[in-house]
Amino acid sequence: MTNVSFGDYLLNFGFGTKEEKTKILEMNPDKKVVMDLSCYDPISFYKKFPNLIGTFAALFADENKKIEVHLLEGVEDVLKKFIELGYTPVETTIVSCGFVFPRTISQIINEAYFALQEGVASREDIDRAMKFGVNYPKGPFEWAHGREMYVKTLLNELLSLTGDQRYKACPLL
């Protein structure tokens, strides 16, 4: 994890366990923290920590570095900082575990892994099918590359939050 401080604000980037994320918030009670919670439920963090004033999902960002950002306050300053750091923030009002893109893409990736596990097709053919059959900008395995742990963590979080078996991660992940 990386922390970037400016004025009263602290931006926390990167993957960490829930305990590690909690520790950052506990250790910075006087800072206005904006935290990457790509894999966790922002609502439970907002409820527990009044110093958390914003959350974002950067772990799933690709080369375009576009990220979902949800802010309770400090909007202009924080957005400016993201831009300064090379990100393109896309503001959202939807506070959902895994936001919108990470949650949707994780489920698509999970299904691609199940199809692979069942021998439906090769990784290459699954990627090719999704790109040239329904115009996805990338194939699920291309998206997943290097992010398998994030996908698995997010699915486990959604499973424990909702109890819905649809979020059960494919063992291949």
Partner 1 sequence: MKIERVVVIGAGTMGSGIAQWFAQEMCFVELVDNSSDQLDRAKKSIHDSWNKLVEKEKLTSCKAEQMKKLLEFKSLDNVSKNADLVVEAIIENLDVKKDLFAKLDKHFSEHTILSSNTSSFPIHLMAEAVSTARRGNFVGLHFFNPATIMKLVEVIKGKDSDQELCHELYSWFDSKGKKPALCKDSPGFIVNRVARNFYGEPLRIVGEDDERKMREVDHILKEVGGFKMGPFELMDMIGIDVNYSVTCSVWEAYDREPRFAPHRLQKKMVEDGRFGRKTKRGYYKYD
> What is the full DSSP assignment across 18-43?
HHHHHHHHHH-TTSEEEEE-TTS-HH
Residue 110 binds partner 1, judged by CB under 8 A: yes
Residue 132 binds partner 1, judged by CB under 8 A: yes
Residue 147 binds partner 1, judged by CB under 8 A: no
Residue 121 binds partner 1, judged by CB under 8 A: yes
> How many residues are recorded in the chain?
173
How far is residue 150's CA from residue 90's CA, in Å, rounded to a whole number? 20
Give whichever of 46 and 101 is closer to partner 1, judged by the CB atom. 101
The kind and range of the H/E element at 7 are none
CB 100 within 8 A of CB 123: no
Residue 11 binds partner 1, judged by CB under 8 A: no
Residues interacting with partner 1, by CB under 8 A?
61-62, 64, 66-68, 90, 92-94, 96, 99-101, 103-105, 107-108, 110-112, 114-115, 118-122, 125-126, 128-138, 140, 164-166, 168
